[in-house]
Amino acid sequence: MQAVHVELKYKNTDRPICPATAVIYADSLSNRGGTGIYLKRLLEGFNQCNAPVMAIVGRELLTPAEALSCERYDRGIRKVINENTIRHSLTASISPSIVHLPAFSGRAPSGVPCAVTLHDLAFCRNPSWFPLLRSIYYRLHFRNAARKADVVMVDSDSMAADAVKYIGIEEERIRRVYLSTDSFLTSPDAFRNTFSLKGNYIVFAGTIEPRKNISALLDSWEIVKRTHTDLHLVIAGRWGWGPAALRRRLTDTEGVLLTGPLSEIMLKSCICGAKLLVYPSLYEGFGLPPLEAASAGVPSVVTPASALKEIYSGISIISEGFDSDSITESILQSLEREHNTEELRDFASGFSIERMTGEVLKVYEEFGT
C-alpha cells in the first residue's frame, strides 16, 4: 500500500514530523494504574528525545506531546472498535515499521510487525483474584494478543519466565525492559494539609484488589500500632474490587486513612512524607510504588514475590513470607533502622525514563526499514 503523506508538526514548533518508525496505541493513558503510568512515562521519553514515534488516541494520529495533552479517551466498546478497524487506516497512512500495543489491547494491521508489552500475568497465575467475567476476558484476549505479537516486551526477568510458562511465548521473542520513575521528591505539606494528618505514617500505594494482600497488611497493622502508637497507616489508592468486608475494615480500623484515588501531585506528596512504604503484594510483574518511594528517599518493605525480589533485593527489606507475621516483623525492623536516603535515590535514578525509552526504541529498531 502506498503511504499517504500526513502533514503533522511537533507540538509548539513548526518542525514537521519525520516518518514514524513506530505507532503506539495510547488510549490507556486514561488508566489510573500501572499501565497508564508506564504509557505516560514512555510518551514523555519519546517527546524529550524527539523520537520518530506517533500515538493513536481514539480516532486521531498524534505526536507524543499531543497525546499527553489529551483530555478525553475512548473507552469500552468504542475503544475496541477503534483498535480493530479505524486504527488500521490511520496506521497505514504513515507506514510504520512496527505497531506497539502497550496494554495488551488492539491488533496491528496485517503486514505490520507488532510489539506487545506484558506487565503481569496475574490472570494466569490466579484467576480467582479477578471477577469472573474479567478473568475470562483477560485469559482469552490478552493471551491471544501476546501470542500473535512479533516481539513481547516484559517488565522483568520474572515476567519473562511467566510469559514462557503460562502462555508459551518463545524466549527469542521476549525483550526485558525495566519500568521507570521520575522523582517523587517533593513537599509532604499538600497531602498532610488536605487530609489533616499529623504525626508519622506508613503507606501502601496502589489499586486495592485481592492480589495486593491488603488483609494481611491490616492484620499486621494491628500489631505494629501497639508499639508505634503515634503512627498512622495510609492506604493511598482507589478501590478496585474485593470483599465488602475488606472495604468496611479499611474505613473502620483505627489509625487507617483510606484516601481514595489521588492526583499525581498528591500521590507524590503522600509518598514523600511517609516513614515507610509497605507493598505486601502476592504477585507483581514489576511493582512500581517501591521504586517511586525510593526516588523520594523513602524506604520500603516488600514481600518475596519473584519480581519484587528481582528488582528490590539489596535496597528494600523483603519479608520472609506473605503472611501478616512476616510483614509485621519486616515493618518493625524497617522502622527501627537508619536508612540511607541518598542510596535510595541513587538506586531509583538507575530506572530513569530516558533509560526505559532508549531500550524500547532499540526494540523498535529491530524492525526498522
- For the chain, give every domain's residue range: 22-180+352-365, 189-349
pTM, rounded to two decimals: 0.90
Q: What is the pLDDT of residues 28-64, one digit of tens each?
A: 888 878 899 999 999 999 999 999 999 998 888 899 9
| Burial label, 293 (beta-carbon count in 10 A; 0-12, 13-18, 19+) | buried
Higher pLDDT, 298 or 34: 298
Distance CA 38, CA 102 (A): 8
Q: What is the pLDDT of residues 332-360, one digit of tens each?
A: 999 999 999 999 999 999 999 999 999 99
204, 234 contact by CB (below 8 A): yes
Distance CA 106, CA 288 (A): 25
At CB < 8 A and 24+ separation, what contacts does 329-333 make? Answer: 330/301, 331/202, 331/220, 331/224, 331/276, 331/278, 331/301, 332/224, 332/227
pLDDT of residue 4: 30
Percent of the chain with pLDDT over 70: 88
CATH code of the region 22-180+352-365? 3.40.50.2000
Distance CA 323, CA 307 (A): 18
Quickly tell me which residue has 474490587 as its cell: 241
Average pLDDT over residues 16-30: 76
Q: Do domains 22-180+352-365 and 189-349 have the same CATH topology?
A: yes
* E strand or H helix at 100: strand 98-101
Distance CA 205, CA 212 (A): 10
Q: What is the pLDDT of residues 113-156, one digit of tens each?
A: 999 999 999 999 999 999 888 878 777 777 888 888 999 999 99
302, 287 contact by CB (below 8 A): yes
Distance CA 179, CA 162 (A): 17
At CB < 8 A and 24+ separation, what contacts does 163-166 make? Answer: 163/118, 163/121, 166/121, 166/124, 166/125
225, pLDDT greater than 80? yes
1, pLDDT greater than 50? no
Q: Which CATH superfamily is domain 189-349 in?
A: Glycogen Phosphorylase B; (3.40.50.2000)
Q: What is the pLDDT of residues 232-260, one digit of tens each?
A: 999 999 999 999 999 999 999 999 999 99
